[in-house]
Amino acid sequence: MAKKPTAATSARQAKIDAARRKSGGGANRIVVGAVVAVLAIVAVVAGVVITESNKQKRVGTSTAVPAGAGAMGEGFVANKDVQLVAGAPTLDIYEDFQCPACAEFERAMGPTIKGLADDGKIKLVYHLKTFLDANLRTTHSLVMGNAAMCAADAGKFQTFHDTVYANMPAQEGQGWTSAQTERFAEEAGITGEAKDAWSTCVDERTYATYVESTEESSSKAGVNATPTIRLAGTTLDLNAVRDPAGLVAAVEAATK
């Protein structure tokens, strides 16, 4: 037979209950909190480290800078060998090879820009961007940017660049196969020994660090959209300068 609770035992029980309430009963808050905090920190740090290492792996370690660019982070001068007319302004073009709007811009303005560059009426500088890789979870922008700089070694940057934009994938993010890229090089007139050098350069991602550096520096300069066109340092409003004639007029106005 169970003992009837006396006044003394029920008082003790009340004390035990009070103590349990105070300590919070159940699981230990501090232990659970510590576990959650540690897991959270590990997850965040691991995420950051993995992202950084993926980026390193993708870009590689080559430190080569193409002859047409002064240094890492600086744009590629497409008409470096052309004698510029007095007071010719610089036309900076920020493009990502995967950007459909860039292809549209090139179709409308490309030939005019090439003409101005060949005539020395502008200093034509390309800044290759790769930010669409980050959005689309691809590497096509970087791979194609590197391939274009490899084409520059053969003196064929502009034709390679134009060929790529004439052969955009049906869907943004789909990119190009390596066989397609090789055909672009051939179409751009890279053959024989130059073609072998181009292939090596593509395989070794010789200019990937450089292409990533122009992405970084342009993003630092606030260029987060493509195509962005800067004439003599001023961003052109492509809604205002919408046809070749408008561009030619703007270049003339910017020539000192």
Partner 1 sequence: MSTRVADGLGLLARLVLGGVFLVAGALKVTTPEAMAKATQAYQLLPHDVAAWVGYALPMVEIILGLLLVLGLFTRVAAVLTSLLVVAFIVGIAQAWARGLTIDCGCFGGGGTVSAAETNYLQRIIEDLGLLACGVWLSWRPDAHLSLDRAMFRPATT
Footprint of partner 1 (CB under 8 A)? 17, 20-21, 24-27, 29, 32-33, 36, 40, 43-44, 47-48, 51-52, 55, 131, 133-135, 137, 219-220, 222-225
Q: Kindly state the DSSP code that residue 119 receives in the 8-state scheme.
A: T
- 12 or 196: whose CB is closer to partner 1? 12
Least separation in angstroms between residue 65's CB and partner 1 is: 21
Q: List all residues 6 or more positions away from 113 whose beta carbon is below 8 Å from its beta carbon.
A: 91, 93, 122, 124, 247
Q: Rounded to the nearest 10 degrees, what angle do helices 29-59 and 208-220 cross at? A: 120
Q: What is the distance between the alpha carbons of residues 44 and 53, in angstroms, rounded to a whole number? A: 14
Least separation in angstroms between residue 175's CB and partner 1 is: 16
Amino acid at 54: N
- 5 or 47: whose CB is closer to partner 1? 47
Least separation in angstroms between residue 242's CB and partner 1 is: 14
- 237 or 243: whose CB is closer to partner 1? 237
- 42 or 249: whose CB is closer to partner 1? 42
3-state SS, 22-47, equals HHCCCCCHHHHHHHHHHHHHHHHHHH
Least separation in angstroms between residue 85's CB and partner 1 is: 33
